[in-house]
Amino acid sequence: MTDVLFLRSDELSGLATPADYVSAVRDGYRSHANDGAARPRSKLVSADPPGMCTGYFAILPEVGAMGGYTYAAGFGDRDAHFVLPLFDAESGELLALLDGASMNPFKTGATGAVGVDELAREDARTCAVIGSGAQARGQLKAAATVRDFEAVRVFSPTADHRRAFASEFDDRLSADVRAVESAAAAADAADVVLTATTATDPVVRDVDLDEGVHVTAMGQYDRGKRELDAATVAGATYVPDLRERAFQDAGSFLAAREAGAVDDDHVHAELGEVVAGHSPGRTSADEVTVFDSGGTGIETVAAAWMLYERATAEGLGETIEFAPASEALTGE
């Protein structure tokens, strides 16, 4: 039998700061660009009962880990559980099984923050947040570790939600955080725009954005999802998490492509290629940049490895037994 460490979500929730997640995820994207492997999510959909079963994986040799998420959403449960197996990238040994719920907004936010750090101007001081849910919170927490924001403007269609978000972060950050009445008002004069929505129509448009702005869009994980209009995508230096994912399910990019606003060569580079120095990021102060983050196994495995190492050092978790294939298949 193989001893495997099971780590509960509540055990993992206090092990790392947003900055720790950003550092781990940056290392993960660098590893992917140098010697790793990752594919976009595979999603199977059921119409009756409605739901999906999906997963994505990555091998990150420089980090030392491989694995990924598997989860179901919808169906009769109308919820999701993030099951995260973590393997040693050299030996292939199954090391841990994580409940990935608590880390989800942090690792996703960290990915957006790496995009901000690589593509936003160094002097970026004003941030717009479109959305007010857990993912929007994760995006801002992480982005605030890579830029010293002086002002944050948040918009969500529900007034109570945006006011609650602004109140929370006004206390949390040194920046002046305020709720505003529209996405355009939030984006006005912003240096960084973070979109974290489930929108099917653009929430910010090219006319709302100033020269030199950086946009991190993380709600474009499906062909039907669109946070940016075609003109924004066409006018920007466009960087997705994975090039292959841009052509699979990056809603705004695909819509711009179908409209003839961009062609296949519009993808500037993957995020990891910029992090690793294989491709340039921002090259001018007035350049508009877009990071399209739809979710990959890269940030998932990198963050999980960081948490696994910390949990092991602190003696957390419960050991469970898995039967290795050699034993299970031979009956020995």
Tens digit of pLDDT per residue, the chain (332 long)? Answer: 889 999 999 999 999 999 999 999 999 999 999 999 999 999 999 999 999 899 999 999 999 999 999 999 888 887 889 999 999 999 999 999 999 999 999 999 999 999 999 999 999 999 999 999 999 999 999 999 999 999 999 999 999 999 999 999 999 999 999 999 999 999 999 999 999 999 999 999 999 999 999 999 998 777 888 999 999 999 999 999 999 999 999 999 999 999 999 999 999 999 999 999 999 999 999 999 999 999 999 999 999 999 999 999 999 999 999 988 887 777 55
CATH of the domain at 82: 3.30.1780.10
Q: Which two tokens stand for residue 211?
A: 């020269």
38 in a structural domain: yes
Residue 110 lies in a domain: no
| Cα(85)–Cα(304) distance, integer angstroms | 9
Please state, in angstroms and as integers, the Cα–Cα distance from residue 279 to each residue in 118, 181, 239, 254, following that order.
Answer: 11, 38, 11, 23
Alpha carbon distance 148, 176 (integer Å): 11
Residue 89: C-alpha distances to residues 68, 204, 234 (Å): 12, 41, 38
The answer to whether residues 153 and 73 belong to one domain is no
Give the range of the structural domain holding residue 24, as residue numbers without chain letter.
Answer: 2-104+297-330
Opening angle at CA 249, ends 247 and 121, nearest 5? 80
Q: Do 78 and 156 fall within a single domain?
A: no
CATH classification at residue 142? 3.40.50.720
- Structural domain includes residue 151: yes
Verify that 20 and 100 share a domain, yes or no. yes
Cβ 235 vs Cβ 219: under 8 Å: no
Judge if 288 and 303 occupy the same domain.
no
Q: Please answer whether residues 30 and 299 qualify as being in contact, where contact means their C-beta atoms are separated by less than 8 angstroms.
A: no
Domain presence at residue 214: yes
- Rounded CA separation 227/82 (Å): 25
Residue 114 lies in a domain: no
Residue 78 lies in a domain: yes
Would you say 153 and 219 are in contact if contact means Cβ atoms under 8 Å apart?
Answer: no
Do 303 and 198 belong together in one domain?
Answer: no
> How far is the C-alpha of 235 from the C-alpha of 87, rounded, in Å?
41
Indicate if 54 and 184 belong to the same structural domain. no
Question: What is the reported pLDDT for 244?
Answer: 96
In a domain, 112, yes or no: no
Whether 299 and 108 have beta carbons less than 8 Å apart is answered as yes
CB 111 within 8 A of CB 25: yes
Say how far apart CA 6 and CA 154 lie, in whole Å: 38
Give me the number of domains the chain comprises: 2
Q: What are phi and psi of 146, to 5 degrees?
A: -115, -10
Residues 16 and 99 placed together within one structural domain of the fold: yes
Residues 198 and 315 in one domain: no
- Alpha helices (runs of H) in the chain, residue ranges in sequence order: 9-12, 18-35, 104-119, 134-143, 159-172, 183-187, 230-235, 243-249, 251-258, 271-275, 297-313, 325-330
State whether 319 and 287 are in the same domain: no
Tell me, yes or no, whether 129 and 277 share the same domain. Answer: yes
160 and 281 both lie in a single domain: yes
143 and 246 inside one domain: yes
Inter-residue contact 262 to 292 (CB < 8 Å): no
* 109 located within any domain: no
Give dist(CA 181, CA 79) in Å, integer.
31
